[in-house]
Amino acid sequence: MKNRFAHFFISRNFSLLWLGQALSSFGEFVFEATVIVWLVTDLFRDNAFLPTAVGLAVAASAIPRVLVAPLAGAWVDRMMPLYVMISADAIRVFNFLAFMLVYSLSGLDPMQMFTGILLLLLINSVAAQFFNPSRQAIMQVVIPSERRVEASAKAMFSLTGISVLSASLGRRYLCG
């Protein structure tokens, strides 16, 4: 039984990469779903600005995927991918903690809060564009070439599952 489990996860290094991606992606997806639910149910409830706010929040997360991702991949190729991946997640954690500190200590009005959320989403999405190619570069080194397609398929399958699960959990626990 242990051998089948070990064979599924290819190697210890792949298991660690897979776990890192899963945790990072889960946090990212839950946060983005939570922000949308928060905008709809609290911050801009019954406000004509709500559709614009949701659109801007989605754009703040999506635009870096189009504009930054191609450049980030080329940049990561010239750096140490492990350090870039760890730095990208550290930036996201620091960004979130800084926002929570400002949010809890100051009396921001809804538009100031929304501006902070947009900045938070934008920075987090930019950092994610550096995390993903770093993980791919590391996979090329730590996974035997004959198992890379299998590893990539397992990573993408888990990412899809995590996105569905985290969006469902974020909505369920926020809306009751």
Q: What are phi and psi of 47, to 5 degrees?
A: -120, 135
Give the residue numbers spanning the domain of 25.
2-175
DSSP 147: G
CA nearest neighbour of 64 among 155, 136, 152, 126: 126
State the CATH number of the domain containing residue 104: 1.20.1250.20
DSSP 145: G
Number of domains observed in the structure of the chain:
1
Q: Summarize pLDDT for 123-173 with one digit per residue, the tens.
A: 999 998 998 888 888 878 888 888 778 777 777 766 677 667 766 665 555
Q: Summarize pLDDT for 13-71 with one digit per residue, the tens.
A: 777 877 777 777 777 887 888 888 889 988 999 999 999 999 999 999 999 999 999 89
pLDDT at 2 over 60: no
DSSP 27: H
pLDDT at 169: 64
